[in-house]
Copies of this chain bind each other. A is one copy, B any other.
Amino acid sequence: MKYIIILKKVFMNKKSATIYDISKKLNVSVATVSRALNDHPRISEATKELVRKTAKEMNYKQNNLAKALKSGETKNVGIIVPYINTNFFSSVIRGIEEELSPFGYHVIICQSHEDVTIEKKHLNTLLNAQVDGIFMSVSRTTVETEHIQNILDTSNTPIIFFDRKKDIPGISTVTIDDYRGGYIATEHLISEGYKNICHFSGDLNLEIYRNRLNGYKQALIDHHFSVKEENIISTGSSIDAGIDAIKKLWERKSVPDAIFSSSDFAALGACQELKKRKIKIPQEVAVIGFSNEPFTQFMELPMSSVDQTPVTMGKMAGQVFIESVKENSFGVSIEKKVVLAPQLHIRKSSKRK
């Protein structure tokens, strides 16, 4: 790392003009200036013009802090995610930002690092910062939820869960239908003629993985296949987990002809190990993952996957917030559960026909 100091200079303190400064210069009251700048109907066009011109000349910038203090609205919302630099979370944030920006909102980002203590701290500082709403995906270590319940009881700040939710009455959620994701992925494999479909389940302590598994099971049942417990492999969500799973599976007498993995990474590992064993995808074995990570489409053999539509999730969460602001102004609170449809992306790894 190089580090070069180029220039050091003393500067004058430039403090920006206020409506007070403008009013003095123009010999009108601050109220007039305020109203002129806000395009109040009962101000003469001439005055407005003059005020606006002078404001520009004096480089006036409205202090939103003062406005917020008065109005009680900061036009800021907070977002708490485990980490921001994953495709999923950064895409959700993008969706929220794009939905809310037209309404004049700014988004404040906090990372919980999967630590409930940090999550609590952020929740508090966001509240202190008077944000108008909080979006969050709970951390992995968030078990008890009184700290969230507590906010609900003591403030009007709406909270919206996305993806990783907790069941708390009064909190709206935006999630995807993981059950359906598992169902359509499995059904797709069936329709391609695969007969012995195996599932990499991920951590079954988590609701989302249980739902995907259930979708898988139901699809099998609906198409008159039997659900074999030995075909449900509890794996992690890593490449190595996928590799290991294949190794174990291929020790058996009868091997599967298709794999539906709850994780793209495990699916990738499976592809790698199958390739190593010269087992042809998709002719001999089909593979389909979950999440539609960017890398899936860049693989040499592009991999099918179930997309969680994160940008849409963010946009929906934004909409739910906007609605709740309106409802709040009527003194009403409506709890909503938005469930998004997962999108199946069919690529070469699962197309035999």
Stretch at the interface among A8-16, A42-50, A198-206: A8-16
Instruction: Report yes or no: B83 in contact with A94, Cβ–Cβ below 8 A.
Output: yes
| Residues of the B chain whose Cβ atoms lie less than 8 Å from the Cβ of A84 | 84, 90, 93-94, 97
| Residues of the B chain whose Cβ atoms lie less than 8 Å from the Cβ of A316 | 1
Count of identical protomers in the assembly: 2
With contact pairs A84-B90, A85-B311, A111-B97 given, residues A1 and B338 touching in the complex (Cβ less than 8 Å): yes
Name A10-36 residues within 8 Å CB distance of B.
10-11, 13-14, 16
| Residues of the B chain whose Cβ atoms lie less than 8 Å from the Cβ of A98 | 111
Partner of A85, one of B87, B126, B275: B87
Is the CB of A143 closer than 8 A to any CB of chain B? no
Partner of A59, one of B13, B154, B275, B339: B154
Residue of B nearest to A67 (CB): B128
| Residues of the B chain whose Cβ atoms lie less than 8 Å from the Cβ of A295 | 294-295, 298
| Residues of the B chain whose Cβ atoms lie less than 8 Å from the Cβ of A124 | 61
Interface of A is mostly: mixed
Instruction: Report yes or no: B111 in contact with A109, Cβ–Cβ below 8 A.
Output: no
Interface residues on chain A, number (Cβ under 8 Å) = 84
Partner of A333, one of B9, B69, B331: B9
Instruction: Report yes or no: B108 in contact with A8, Cβ–Cβ below 8 A.
Output: no
15 interchain pairs, CB-CB under 8 A: A1-B340, A3-B337, A4-B336, A4-B338, A7-B169, A61-B127, A65-B74, A65-B130, A85-B90, A97-B111, A106-B125, A106-B126, A107-B108, A268-B298, A299-B299
